[in-house]
Amino acid sequence: MNVKTMPADPKGVDSGPHFMDGDHALAEGALAAGCRFFAGYPITPSTETFERFAERAPEVGAMFIQMEDELSAIAANIGAVWGGQKVMTVTCGPGFSLMVENIGLAAMTETPMVICNVQRAGPSTGAPTLTAQQDMMQAKYGPHGDNAMIALSPDSPQECFDLAIEAFNLSEYYRVPVIILTDETVGHMHEKVVIPPADQIKVVPRNLFTGPKEDFRPYKFNSKGGNPMTRAGDGYRFHITGLTHNEKGYPVVTAEQNKIVVTHLMEKINGNADDIVRLEEDQIEGADVVVVSYGITSRIAVKAIQDARKEGIKVGSLRMITIWPFCEKRIRELAGKVKTFVVPELNYGQMVNEVERCAGGKSKVISVNHCGGAVHDPEVILEAIRKGSK
Amino acid sequence: MSQDIAQFKKDSPMSGTLRMDRMSHIWCPGCGIGSEVNAFAEAVKRSGIDPDKLAVVSGIGCTGRVAGYVDFDSIHTTHGRAIPVATGLKLARPDMKVVVFSGEGDLTGIGGNHFIHAARRNMDIVVICNNNFTYGMTGGQVTPTTPHSAVSSTTPFGNHEYPFNLPFLADAAGATYIARWTSMHSRNLIQSMEEALSRKGFSFIEIISPCTTLYLRRNRLGDGVDALQFYQENALLKHGADTRTLDLDFQGKITIGKFVEKDKPTYIEALDNQCVKVVGDDYELYGKTIPEREAEEKAEKARVAERRAAVLAEEEKARAKAGVVKVSAKIPVKAGAKKAVAKTTKKAAAATTKKVAAKTVTAKKTTAKSTTAKKAVVKTAKKAAPKAKAKAAVKKVAAKPATKKVAAKPAAKKTRK
Ligand SMILES: Cc1ncc(C[n+]2csc(CCOP(=O)(O)OP(=O)(O)O)c2C)c(N)n1
Ligand code: SF4
Ligand SMILES: [Mg+2]
């Protein structure tokens, strides 16, 4: 990501050590990243982010509004982005399902924004508000039609703060909605969070078009990030639509144009996966078993991995910080080199399908699924590692 | 040939307010939407608003396509979500005018929740609703406003549901400006849109409009011209009418007019007021944290007034050139007459004539927004009615008593048979 950054606006940065939960850390991360608009609708276990922002809004000159539902919350955020603001909202499954409508509009209109899904156990109202990681696929396939989005998954309150900033930076650069897939456990877990001084926080500012009016185009279908956008009131008189459009933003509803737009939307993310994907790896070299995990489950897996190593099993850890785009290249590299991928997750088996696809039959894949409502017993993961090492 | 068309588009009086490079539009012959958009473009011109500081947001539907044809910052959103997108835009840019232009299905069916909540918050946006009693874009299904017994593609035996009375809905929800016109009442529409654009708060304008291709055809109501004739014969002008009385029956009378106009703090003003009350001097007013922005707002106000005056002067000149003398007599409804009166009043005041003028000025000052209607009430009522009545008229917000006295009704009556 070859992009201009600038230090964070100190107004939004509450520097110093804090003891806070993941939800609050998300709000602080957003404020540090320059988010000055927040439209949302309350739902446990995400509400704390929302409340924190409401309290902090006046002191940073931000706007906070509780909308009448999640449909309108996400819509208001889109409006605010085209008004020039950086925006964020939080929700969990039931609310995310409603937001999906206009997350699709945001993807289509290349509107940057950050949406946090503090996952709880579903389906439907499910088990409020017990933990889960069941919306992994929804983050990718939620909106209808083909569009690629970015999703990140923090495993601690500190990472909630850090990834909130990263999410904003990615969304600004790629002009795409970025989803933070956290969960009830990380959201409500209190830990030490260190907020650095503002000048040490790198922020990607909105890339606004400044050329002559005749040259203005709200879009550029080049499968790349870094394209400029605009905001209301700058005199460019933009038009944006959820319809298939040309670079001027005007509707052009043809198969040819749809190909141009969809290819761009997909490729600007998938084609730049190398730039986007972030993983945390530990002792993968020479490992027989690699545990592929993310979010809260990766912290449970640590215990199982430690115990397995005590037993002499060569086991590595691959923690996905980026969920989408999927770390396809890395899994393909390891496929055939490791005996088994063990994939624990708080769902009936979602990301494991991606691992299996990329493993391509060259390595065994063991799913350690869990229907949500609690975290894994590390013993179950350990058992899978043992099985995988044989 | 194509060169000529390009030049023709460029020279069009609508160039600068409509995206001429997107013409021709998608609307059917006789559809009401086109003339409403024309009225809107005209209202924007007359309002003096900087077109660069105006945004139009639409939902989905035939009317939803309006955003694509106006030459302002414009967003064509998803079905029903124009109002929340406009809300976000307005809150991000309080200095901009934000207008929602959409269909009744979009605004009050799928988007009904957003409609009432934006009204409740007195969100500072203008909502223009093209009410054609049908889901036009999808082929003419029943909507929340389709009159009882009217035929639609999904009520083939006649609508058994009860329709919304939209001005009443808006009123109950808290809208601070409510008017209804038909697509035939261009003058009133321009005047009303201009008024809505020039004030603060949630303004709602309902426009009864013909969907020739679907609603009219299915109900065997003729073509676009028949619809306009019907409107002319059946529209009853009643400013200030009780919104509870504004139900629309199938092919019944259509009460039009400005029903509500009141002052109430907007969403942002209410937020600021509350925070100032609790936080005190430390609280920085939202959107005004940068001092230059305040100065900018002030300057913009002055510019608006200047542009507005220029547009009106130009019109006056054109009229004089065309030899049109009795302007007010030509305007079918009161609203236009008010305007002319208000204008002269202003001049009179400047020349420090007598009490009448002075009074107009006070009225203008206290209401801050000085709707021309109010001014006109003072003036016309004074002429014809005793003092006490005139005062009452001013308080009543809408130009109710005045309505009875001016050319409006007779003009409408003339053609009624
Ligand atoms: C979520 C969703 N549901 C349904 C539709 C299909 N749809 C498109 S336009 C429309 C009706 C629009 O009616 P109205 O707002 O009255 O506008 P008109 O076409 O009459 O101007 C519908 C139902 C859609 N686009 N999106
Ligand atoms: S279908 Fe009806 S509403 Fe749509 S453009 Fe045609 S006449 Fe107008
Ligand atoms: Mg309609």
Q: How many Cβ atoms are within 10 Å of B244's Cβ, its own excluded?
A: 11
The number of C-alpha atoms within 13 Å of A28 and in the hemisphere containing its C-beta is 26
Residues of A with CB under 8 A from a CB of B: 37, 39, 58, 61, 63, 65, 67-69, 71-73, 75-85, 87, 101-102, 104-105, 231-243, 250-251
What the block records as the tokens of B292 is: 């230059």
Q: How confident is the model at residue B6 (pLDDT cuts 50, 70, 90)?
A: confident
With a cut of 70, list the residues of chain A below it in pLDDT.
Answer: none
CB B50 within 8 Å of CB B303 = yes
* Pairing status of strand A279-282 against strand A88-91: unpaired
Nearest CA in chain B to A244: B76
CB A41 within 8 Å of CB A70 = yes
Alpha carbons A183 and A167: distance in angstroms, whole number: 16
Measured between its terminal Cα atoms, the distance across chain B in Å is 47
- Would A255 be classed as within a structural domain? no
Ligand 2: centre distance to CA B165 (Å): 22
What the block records as the tokens of A53 is: 């922002």
Q: Which of B103, B108, B143, B140 is nearest to B219 (CA)?
A: B140
Is the distance from the beta carbon of residue B104 to the nearest atom of ligand 1 less than 6 Å? yes
The residues, ordered by sequence, that sit 6+ positions from A120 with a Cβ below 8 Å of its Cβ are A44, A45, A92, A93, A126, A127, A128, A129, A130, A131, A132, A183, A184, A372
**What CATH number should be reported for the domain holding residue A82?**
3.40.50.970
Q: What are B357-414's pLDDT values in tens digits?
A: 333 333 333 333 333 343 343 333 334 444 444 444 434 433 333 333 333 333 333 3
- Which chain B residues touch A250 with a CB distance below 8 Å? 22, 68
CA–CA distances in Å: residue A2 to residues A47, A260, A272, A306: 35, 24, 12, 38
Which of B21, B93, B266 is the best substitution to test chain A (most A C-beta atoms within 10 A)? B93
Alpha carbons A55 and A330: distance in angstroms, whole number: 42
- What ranges do the domains of chain B cover? 2-287, 290-326, 335-416
Q: What are B96-122's pLDDT values in tens digits?
A: 999 999 999 999 999 999 999 999 999
Sheet holding A289-293, edge to edge: A279-282, A315-320, A289-293, A340-345, A364-369
User: Cβ contact (<8 Å) for A76 and B87?
Assistant: yes
CB proximity B83 to A under 8 Å: yes
Nearest to B81 among A63, A75, A233 (CB): A75
pLDDT of residue B375: 39
Alpha carbons A300 and A374: distance in angstroms, whole number: 11
Alpha carbons B83 and B88: distance in angstroms, whole number: 9
Q: How confident is the model at residue B325 (pLDDT cuts 50, 70, 90)?
A: low
Place of tokens 């043809």: A254
pLDDT of residue B10: 83
User: Cβ contact (<8 Å) for A72 and B81?
Assistant: yes
Helical (H) or strand (E) element with A113: strand A113-121
Q: How confident is the model at residue B5 (pLDDT cuts 50, 70, 90)?
A: confident
Q: How confident is the model at residue B4 (pLDDT cuts 50, 70, 90)?
A: confident
- Strands in B225-309 per DSSP E: 235-237, 254-261
Ligand 2, atom 2, residue with closest C-alpha: B211
Alpha carbons B142 and B322: distance in angstroms, whole number: 46
Alpha carbons B147 and B251: distance in angstroms, whole number: 8
CB B371 within 8 Å of CB B195 = yes
Q: What is the CA radius of gyration of chain A?
A: 21
Ligand 1, atom 11, residue with closest C-alpha: B135
Same domain flag for A20 and A168: yes
Using a cut of 0.90, tell me whether the model's pTM lies above it: no
Environment class of B376 (CB within 10 Å of its CB; exposed 0-12, middle 13-18, buried 19+): buried
- Segments forming the whole domain that contains residue A356: 280-389
Give the max Cα distance, chain A.
Answer: 69
Superfamily of domain B2-287: Thiamin diphosphate (ThDP)-binding fold, Pyr/PP domains (3.40.50.970)
- Would A380 be classed as within a structural domain? yes
- Which chain A residues touch B19 with a CB distance below 8 Å? 239
Q: Helix or strand or coil: residue A120?
A: strand
CB burial string B262-290: b at 16+ within 10 A, e below: ebebbbbbebbeebeeeeeeeebbbbeee
B91 to chain A, closest Cα gap in Å: 7
Environment class of B305 (CB within 10 Å of its CB; exposed 0-12, middle 13-18, buried 19+): exposed
CB burial string B38-74: b at 16+ within 10 A, e below: bbbbbbbbbbbbbbebbbbbbbbbbbbbbbbbbbbbb
Q: What are B326-348's pLDDT values in tens digits?
A: 444 333 334 433 443 334 334 44
pLDDT of residue B3: 73
Task: Please identify, by atom number, the ligand 1 atom nearest to the C-alpha of residue A101.
Answer: 1
- Which chain B residues touch A84 with a CB distance below 8 Å? 92-93
The number of C-beta contacts closer than 8 angstroms across A and B is: 145
The residues, ordered by sequence, that sit 6+ positions from A254 with a Cβ below 8 Å of its Cβ are A244
Helical (H) or strand (E) element with B147: none
Q: Which amino acid is at B306?
A: E
- Would A257 be classed as within a structural domain? no
- Residues with a beta carbon under 5 angstroms from ion ligand 3: B 103-105, 132, 136
Percent of residues, chain B, with pLDDT higher than 70: 75
User: Cβ contact (<8 Å) for A79 and B67?
Assistant: no
CB A365 within 8 Å of CB A356 = yes
A375 to chain B, closest Cα gap in Å: 38
CB proximity B139 to A under 8 Å: no
- Would A348 be classed as within a structural domain? yes
The residues, ordered by sequence, that sit 6+ positions from A262 with a Cβ below 8 Å of its Cβ are A145, A146, A147
Number of domains in chain A: 2
Cα four-point dihedral sign B56, B57, B62, B63: negative
Measured between its terminal Cα atoms, the distance across chain A in Å is 41
pLDDT of residue B292: 53
Q: Could you give the angle at which helices A157-174 and A22-33 cross, rounded to 10 degrees?
A: 40
Is the distance from the beta carbon of residue B131 to the nearest atom of ligand 1 less than 6 Å? no
Mean pLDDT within B52-78 = 97
Alpha carbons B335 and B284: distance in angstroms, whole number: 40
Ligand 3: centre distance to CA B17 (Å): 24
Alpha carbons B149 and B161: distance in angstroms, whole number: 8
- Which chain B residues touch A69 with a CB distance below 8 Å? 113
- Which chain B residues touch A102 with a CB distance below 8 Å? 77-78, 81
| End residue of a domain, out of A158, A184, A203 | A203
User: Nearest 5°: phi and psi at B266?
Assistant: -75, 175
Same domain flag for A309 and A195: no
Whether the predicted pLDDT of B83 surpasses 50: yes
Q: Which of A175, A182, A25 is nearest to A96 (CA)?
A: A182
Q: What are B236-286's pLDDT values in tens digits?
A: 999 999 999 999 999 999 999 999 999 999 999 999 999 989 988 888 888
* Residue B29 CA to its chain's centroid (Å): 23
User: Cβ contact (<8 Å) for A61 and B284?
Assistant: yes
CB proximity B57 to A under 8 Å: yes
- Would A127 be classed as within a structural domain? yes
pLDDT of residue B282: 85
CB proximity B16 to A under 8 Å: no
Alpha carbons A80 and A231: distance in angstroms, whole number: 9
- Would A215 be classed as within a structural domain? no
CA–CA distances in Å: residue A374 to residues A90, A120, A246, A370, B22: 21, 10, 48, 8, 56
- Would A210 be classed as within a structural domain? no
Mutation to probe ligand 1, out of B102, B106, B129 (largest number of atoms < 8 A from CB): B106
Mean pLDDT value across chain B? 81
**What CATH number should be reported for the domain holding residue A341?**
3.40.50.920
What the block records as the tokens of B10 is: 């460029």
Helical (H) or strand (E) element with A190: strand A190-195
| End residue of a domain, out of A162, A178, A203 | A203
The answer to whether ipTM exceeds 0.90 is yes
Place of tokens 């007599």: B329
Alpha carbons A136 and A293: distance in angstroms, whole number: 12
- Which chain A residues touch B86 with a CB distance below 8 Å? 79
Q: How many Cβ atoms are within 10 Å of A196's Cβ, its own excluded?
A: 15
CB A280 within 8 Å of CB A331 = no
- Would A87 be classed as within a structural domain? yes
ω before A143 within 30° of 0 (cis)?
Answer: no
Ligand 2, atom 1, residue with closest C-alpha: B136
User: Cβ contact (<8 Å) for A83 and B89?
Assistant: yes
